[in-house]
Amino acid sequence: MKSAATGATAKDPTPRAPKGANVPSISVEPITMELNTDSHAQTNASPNDFAAPNDLASQVPLGAALRSRYDSVMERVAKAAARSGRRASDISVIAVTKYASMEQVRELLSFGHVDLGENRVQQLIQRAALIDEQLLRRRERPNATHPNAITDNGTHAVRWHLIGTLQRNKVKKAIEVARLVHSVDSLRLAEEIQDCCQKRNEPVDVLVEVNVSGERAKRGVAPAAARHVVEMIDTMIHLRARGLMCMAPENKDGTVDNNEARRTFERCAELFEEICLSRAGKTDAGLRFDILSMGMSGDFETAIECGANMVRIGSAIFGEHAPRDVEGDALNND
């Protein structure tokens, strides 16, 4: 598949860990919702693929502003990946829909983008249900399908990511939709997820959130405890620790200092590589550890340069003042 932003052909969709880490490829089971894509869109997408825009889709009026921002983000991702010796296809882009309207979400899906992230469990469930409802309507009216509408005859499945704080009393609902939980910030939460998964007899992939910057306002395990937490999760049959997640420190005005962000990301990448190397020689599929989720709209390029293979981007794609469909707290994971 060729990216409209870069013109590059993605041959290997598997993301790469920072240099020195020997880890297998990521594979996360998708949920059942599908979307329509044209013949030029990629097939058999893995969770680390992001579907770049194609020439045919760019000819269809899907919202010029959203398309322009999306293309710009993908081009920036590709350039940052090149600076770190990787390809755009090595980076998974999670489109954070926290402030997006449902129309924007549908348009983004029509581009072929399939990885969506939400901060709050309630909003995650509501948005997933709305997309599913759209599919049901299309099945009932197969002849009324718009060329870029979401339908049930496509090959791509929407992959929902929970990127915000997860309360233990909401775990059961969250794991019914999310296929990757980015914010496991304690062993107690991991144990709760394990208990809920055991009842469903289905495993869930998670990332361990690390508070690298040491900010009191941020959640996450201490860097010194990260490896221990991962090893403890490895003993949980229905839970799979797939990597680490962190956020850069913010200034009082909400901005991010690039130097501080780089130091944070470099330290998290070091932790990630240490854990990867500690698993050298282990072939158990349940012990795959290959996701480094770092970077948001204001610092994702720095994160990629430091080794991130997954970034969480909201406002850079949907706009700073995009409308919001579901009320909820504004969390700090964009």
Q: What is the mean pLDDT of residues 153-169?
A: 79
Q: pTM here?
A: 0.76
Most trustworthy range by pLDDT among 58-67, 224-233, 285-294: 224-233
Structure tokens that stand for 271 in this block: 């932790």
CB atoms within 10 A of CB 10: 18
Q: What are phi and psi of 57, to 5 degrees?
A: -65, -35
Rg (the chain; Cα; Å): 19
What is the tens place of the pLDDT at every residue in 271-325? 999 999 988 766 565 578 999 999 999 999 999 999 999 999 999 999 875 444 4
Q: pLDDT band for 30, please (50, 70, 90 cuts).
A: very low
- Domains of the chain are 34-318 (3.20.20.10)
Give pLDDT, residue 132. 78
Weakest-pLDDT range from 83-87, 100-104, 201-205: 201-205
Name the residue among 161, 154, 117, 118 with its Cα closest to residue 134: 154
The full DSSP string for 18-82 is STT-----------S-EE---TTS--S--TT------TTGGGS-S-HHHHHHHHHHHHHHHHHHH
Match 């690039």 to its residue by tokens: 258
pLDDT computed for residue 135 by the predictor: 64
Residue reference for tokens 């201490």: 222
